[in-house]
Amino acid sequence: MARGRANAPQRVAGKPPAKQPFSGAERSAYFARREAARILRCVLHGDAERRAVASIKSLVYSPSVRNKRATFALVCETLKHLNVIKDVLEIANVLNSKWKRQEALIYIICYDILFGQDMPSVGDAEKFLMGRKDALLSALAKLLVRKKVKSIDELMVPSQHFDVSKPRYVRVNTLKMDVGSAMHELEKQYTVQKDEIVPDLLVMPPGSDLHDHPLVKNGNIFLQGKASSMVAAALHPEPGWEVLDACSAPGNKTVHLAALMKGKGRLVACELNKERVKRLEQTIKLSGASNIEVFHGDFLGLNPEDPSFAKVRAILLDPSCSGSGTTADRLDHLLPSHTADNSANYDTMRLHKLAIFQKKALAHALSC
Mean pLDDT of all residues in 107-130: 87
The full set of domain ranges for the chain reads: 24-155, 168-316
Residue 123 pLDDT > 80: yes
Residue 257 pLDDT class (50, 70, 90 cuts): very high
Three-class SS of 282-323: HHHHHHCCCCEEEEECCHHHCCCCCHHHCCEEEEECCCCCCC
Residue 3 pLDDT > 60: no
Burial of 163-201, coded b for 16+ CB within 10 Å and e otherwise, reads: eeeeebbbbbbbbbbebeebeebbeeebebeebeebebb
Residue 166 pLDDT class (50, 70, 90 cuts): confident
Burial of 303 (0-12, 13-18, 19+ CB in 10 A): exposed
Distance CA 310, CA 322 (A): 32
Where is average pLDDT lowest: 181-185, 263-267, 354-358? 354-358
How does pLDDT run across 150-161, given as a tens digit for each residue?
A: 888 777 765 544
How does pLDDT run across 191-220, given as a tens digit for each residue?
A: 999 999 999 999 999 888 887 899 999 999
Looking only at the bridges linking them, the beta strands covering 168-172 and 221-223 are antiparallel
- The H-or-E segment that residue 87 falls in is helix 82-92
Q: What is the pLDDT of residue 296?
A: 93
Residue 231 pLDDT > 50: yes
- The H-or-E segment that residue 194 falls in is strand 193-194
* CATH superfamily name and code, 168-316: Vaccinia Virus protein VP39 (3.40.50.150)
